[in-house]
């Protein structure tokens, strides 16, 4: 079974889900497309790791609700006990910011502002989820909600840290722009400074 399969078992170990609900859960831990999830659910059911029941719906197609089996729980426990592989992180934003020298200052600043906007959305959403869990009955380490609490708290802190980093990047970009603007004005005679060439080198 691949990592996506264990991620599915991890979700079902907490509660039963439909395929659509599993997709939303996996967005937080191991993003996958529905075209990957549904065939794997069928295969895992054939292997005895999970089962499903049909829930009838009025005015809408019936849906399958999946639950983990005892075999699935044992497989999950065995997998959890192993040391995890090194994390794989793919983020298009990082590739673009790495090439900021080609973007130019204006486009780089725009790129970072867009990232901050997305981070603000994520922070607000995660804050709501964390508050919802905290308002439940006293949270114990054995509670099925405890893992969600740890996961959302981690993502919240990482988002806040990245937002602070984004503001640091903006400061660097804007300061560079200011320095070169002042330098340009000084050399064109529009702005005079009692500094020699060596002083400029020290500032820049």
Q: Rounded to an integer, what is the distance from CA 90 to the centroid of its chain?
A: 10
Angstrom distances, CA of residue 155 to CA of 2, 12, 56, 62: 24, 21, 36, 34
pLDDT digits (tens, 9 = 90+) for 159-198: 999 999 999 999 998 886 555 454 445 445 554 444 443 3
pLDDT exceeding 90 applies to what percent of the chain? 51
Encode burial over 104-128: b for 16+ CB neighbours within 10 A, e otherwise: eeeebbebbeebeeebeebbeebee
The position carrying tokens 């560079």 is 176
pLDDT digits (tens, 9 = 90+) for 1-51: 899 999 999 999 989 999 999 998 888 788 899 999 999 999 999 999 999
Let me know: does 40 contact 46? Beta carbons within 8 Å: no
Which two three-digit tokens encode residue 57? 């719906």
Which two three-digit tokens encode residue 30? 């191991």
Residue 203's pLDDT band, with cuts at 50, 70 and 90, is very low
Let me know: does 36 contact 4? Beta carbons within 8 Å: yes
- Overall size of the chain counted in residues: 204
Nearest to 2 by CA among 86, 79, 91: 79
Q: Supply the pLDDT for residue 176.
A: 67
Torsion angle of C-alpha atoms 64, 68, 70, 71, degrees rounded to 10: 90
The position carrying tokens 């964390």 is 130
DSSP type of residue 62: -
| Cα radius of gyration rounded to whole Å, the chain | 25
Quickly count: other Cβ atoms within 10 Å of residue 21's Cβ: 15
């Amino acid at each position: 079974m691949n990592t996506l399969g264990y991620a599915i078992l991890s979700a079902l170990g907490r509660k039963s889900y439909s395929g659509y609900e599993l997709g939303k859960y996996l967005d937080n831990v191991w993003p996958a497309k529905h075209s990957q999830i549904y065939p794997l659910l069928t295969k895992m059911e054939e292997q005895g790791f999970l089962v499903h029941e049909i829930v009838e719906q009025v005015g809408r197609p019936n849906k399958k609700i999946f639950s983990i089996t005892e075999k699935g729980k044992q497989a999950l426990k065995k997998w959890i006990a192993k040391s995890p592989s090194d994390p794989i992180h793919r983020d298009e934003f990082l590739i673009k910011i790495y090439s900021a020298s080609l973007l130019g200052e204006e486009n780089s600043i725009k790129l970072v502002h867009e990232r901050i906007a997305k981070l603000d959305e994520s922070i607000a959403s995660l804050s709501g989820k964390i508050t919802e869990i905290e308002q439940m009955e006293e949270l114990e380490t054995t509670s099925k909600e405890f893992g969600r609490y740890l996961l959302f708290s981690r993502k919240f802190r990482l988002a806040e840290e990245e937002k602070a980093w984004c503001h640091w990047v903006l400061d660097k970009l804007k300061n560079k722009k200011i320095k070169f603007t002042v330098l340009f004005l000084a050399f064109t005679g529009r702005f005079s400074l009692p500094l020699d060439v060596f002083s400029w080198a020290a500032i820049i």
